[in-house]
Structure 1
Amino acid sequence: MERNSALSADVMLVIASFASRATLSALMKTCRLLYHEGAKMLVRRRVEIGDVRDLSSFLAFLHAEEGSRCAFLRDLVLDIDLPRPTTPNPMSPALSNLLANHSFRSLTSLRLVGAERVLRSHPKLAAGFASLKALTSLDIGPVGPKTLSVLVALESELRVLVLKYAPGLDQRPSAAECCHPVVVLQRFKDSLETLDVQGYEAELDRALFTEPYPRMQELILDSPDCPLFAPYIHAFPDMRNLSITTVFADNLTRDNLYVEEDLIEAFRRANRGDQAVYGSWTKLETVNGTAPDLYVAGLRCAIKDLYLNVCLWDPFKMVLGTLQDASVSRLHLFVHAIDALQGCGLPMVFKRLVDSSLEALFLHIRLCAEEEWDEDLRAVVDPAALVSMLRLGAGQF
């Protein structure tokens, strides 16, 4: 009889492990075993808290069984606007106490949405979040002074970090208050492998450049108003993967093309000048961006796979400039631009690349509605004898 009971318990646990969240919650009410083990199963899945009511229920759930469930929480998303401390029954003291007095040894992934606002309204939460020791992945934003204080004090060894900078944050370059990612993240220089920076706007004085991050492999830069790469090249010398989305990616139109080009050229000169004097990356495995993004970067290094998007009004001279700066092995070219098949478009690019180091070209074309269809695509491509694989797709938008 005891053997049958044990088998029955094992079967129940297997069934529960595949149950939906709602079903598992219901199963927890059926017996003591599932009440205890089912709770562990629930918190081992990603938990997303979207409002104060959810948070209240979640905190009560974690406090059950003397807070032992905290040790099994793995992946938490907090997207809430906590009541201010002056309101009745605020949640922040309960959350602060939970963070301070219980073990979260399995919590490896945390996303904090609206972090700066919450930490400013509830400063005691900063110490609680900073005390977490098991985090390897953190997504936090918008970044401001309170958020930066948590990062500086955080006891975890982060490997993956997403930083969303707050619009209007004072990003002055002084040593005491600098909030450039490579400066504020020195605490994680021996562990960080992937960094996603969104909305950082200021440049960094070379006097404030930091020691290298030896484990960094991937950098994602999203919407920097000041796209200067020297601090990242210096800090991440062994990096392998780069993705760039500058403010110019979606801003080029027929009307502002020449105005934006002046600014693009200024940043390009600065980036190329820095790399000429101080060096660039030796080799990148993958690089991803639009024509303006990569033209601004002026990368002077070897690139194994370059994923280059040419959008409506992007000048093809930017494509050519990018390919002349870098030594590209495999080019993945995604084209949905005006006049792509005209002489100033793809034909110009291909003719200049015949004698380059390119080994393979993957070409994806979407023709604009007003594009002429009487062009011979093969005639456009044939002059580039370097092509080892060609993939064409035609469509209208």
Structure 2
Amino acid sequence: MSRIDLLSVMGACRTLHSMLVPHLLAISHNLRRTNQLVSFCHFMLDDKPLRFLYLRDLTISLTFVSSPLLSDLLAKVLRQACKLQGLGLHCGILEGDSRISEAIAAHTGLRKLSLRYPGLGARRMLTCMQSPIEVVEVIMSEASEGGIVDPGSLLAGFCSTLTSLSATLARFSTTGIQYPHLTTLELNCCNNLDIGPLMHLFPNVRNLKIVTCQGLCSHHEHTSQAVIVDESDVKLHRLSNLVVQSELLLQWRTLEYVQGDLPNLYCLAIRGSIRRLDIISADAGNADKLPAILTDLHPSSLFLDVNSDFYQDLPELLQEATKGVCALLLIINKRSTFEEMKRLMECVLGATSSLTHTFFHFKSLPPSISFEKNYHKKLDLDKLSQRAMLKIPPLQYISLEWNKHPPLFWRICRIERHSEGKVLEALPAEVGAKVMAEVGF
């Protein structure tokens, strides 16, 4: 039941009100305005300590606390929230009055912490925290008090417990600390990343996601302008990262999964052998970077999300994507007419005819919602799968998917007596899903 439904039922029945309070408090709460914060604090304190037993996840998005009385009220709530496991803060409320940060630092049960724009107040709080934090999401800012931009040093108190970090607008330079248990690392809009500090700080990363970190032109919700990077600077940065890995014999041997865009991954130049690589928003303008990335990472499975309005851009990109991987999942983010889609399929099949893959999944969008059902029938997915089977000889499995329709799966069976030497066998959805999981999707 949603929060609105719960409040509606609670308001209609006094008996149900007290019964549903635990369910209401178990839902994540985000306090964005001062009046919300005041009401929430009074609500929690009206029935202490019972209500605090059910509060699990709280986010306070206010940039500052307007009065000492409100700071005292919030500190009382935080001190008594004994079962709180997840806490999100705009760190502006930690500057000045220390009662809020002291109440948070005294907690022992927090496991997840989200911080926006940490400054000196946040640093002081983090050095005193008693909770064994496992998951951190942090948005850095040079404009915050103290200008802290390196999560590696900021989160040092959690180096023995942290397993997952999502960092935005961060720079990493610390080398005197390690986070041996961190396996999931997400870097958002982090420009000019150096591979050396990352590999030293997080030696056992298994899952790496990099979003709009280094690109010729990239945007992020926390930046006011596009980041424009000269192509020659990207190449120099890539060379620097390659040299560091070679000279210091650095490698993420635990790395299994990587997601990012072409310029970003090209610049970071991660060397290794991974299970799956996801390329997002790929375009022909950066297709020349794909061979180097595939050589760097040696993925077994490749997820390629092509964001292109021009069919003529696809062959170059797809021909590079067909080299050296066992499974390809291709998504074309373009709405097309039926005739355009037929040309697109010819382009895709022609560009992937040299596939050495055993699994091929293709997904695209219909022209519009109103024509979706008819379009799906008109396209004849059985016929398309037949053509894919004949065009790409090594294939063992084919999957086709259009927009929100469930994917259809086929197994290719070798039959010597058949004129083509092989036939398609339709697979149930659960069998197809299992095959996708086995090849890394």
Letter in 2 for 1:363: L
- Specify the SS of the correspondent of 1:48: strand
TM-aligned CA deviation for residue 22 of structure 1 = 3.5
Q: 1:362 and 2:329 equivalent? A: yes
Residue 198 of structure 1: CA displacement? Answer: 0.4
The structure with higher relative contact order (CA 8 Å, sep 6+) is 1
Note the 1:376-387 alignment, pairs <5 A: 376-386=347-357
Shift of 1:336: 2.1
Q: Which amino acid aligns with 1:48?
A: N
The aligned amino acid for 1:237 is P
CA distance in 1, matches of 2:18, 2:361: 58
Q: Give 1:125's match in structure 2, choosing from 100, 104, 112.
A: 100
In structure 2, the residue matched to 1:94 is 73
Select 2:158's aligned residue among 183, 188, 195.
188
> Matched residues in 2 for 1:275 and 1:124: separation?
45
How far is the alpha carbon of 1:37 from its aligned partner? 4.8
User: C-alpha displacement at 1:111, in angstroms?
Assistant: 1.3
Matched, 1:135 2:110: yes
Is 1:234 the equivalent of 2:200?
yes
Normalising by structure 1, we get a TM-score of 0.78
Which residue pairs with 1:318 in the alignment?
A: 289
CA contact (8 A) 2:277 2:302 kept: yes
2:410 aligns with none
2:211 aligned residue: 245
One of 44, 54, 71 as aligned partner of 1:72: 54
Question: Does the CA-based 8 Å contact 1:366-1:396 persist in structure 2?
Answer: no
1:158 Cα deviation after fit: 1.0
Give me the identity figure in percent. 21
Output one character per residue of 1:126-154: Cα deviation in whole Å (capped at 9) or x when no partner: 21222222111111112222222222222
Contact 1:203/1:226, CA 8 A, preserved across alignment: no
Return the alpha-carbon distance in structure 1 between the equivalents of residues 353 and 185 of structure 2. Answer: 36
Residue 333, structure 1, aligned to residue 287, structure 2: no
Between the aligned partners of 1:120 and 1:160, the Cα distance in structure 2 is 23
Give how far 1:396 is off.
7.8
1:111 aligns with 2:77: no
Uncovered stretches (5+) of structure 1, i.e. residues with no partner? 1-14, 173-177
SS in 1 for 2:52: helix
**5 Å matches for 1:131-170?**
131-169=106-144
Distance 2:212 2:245 in 1: 19
Matches within 5 A, 1:8-19: none
Contact 1:139–1:163 at 8 Å: present in 2 too?
yes
Residue 277 of structure 1 deviates from its aligned partner by 2.2
Q: Which runs of 4+ in 1 moved over 6 A?
A: 394-397
Partner of 1:54: 36
- SS for the counterpart of 1:239 is coil
* CA RMSD after TM alignment: 3.4
Please say if residues 158 and 192 of structure 1, whose CA atoms lie closer than 8 Å, have aligned partners that are also in contact: yes
In structure 2, the residue matched to 1:224 is 190
Q: CA deviation at 1:305?
A: 0.8
> 1:213 and 1:84 mapped to 2: Cα distance?
37
Q: TM-score, normalised by structure 2?
A: 0.71
Q: Is the 8 A contact 1:52 1:81 kept in 2?
A: no
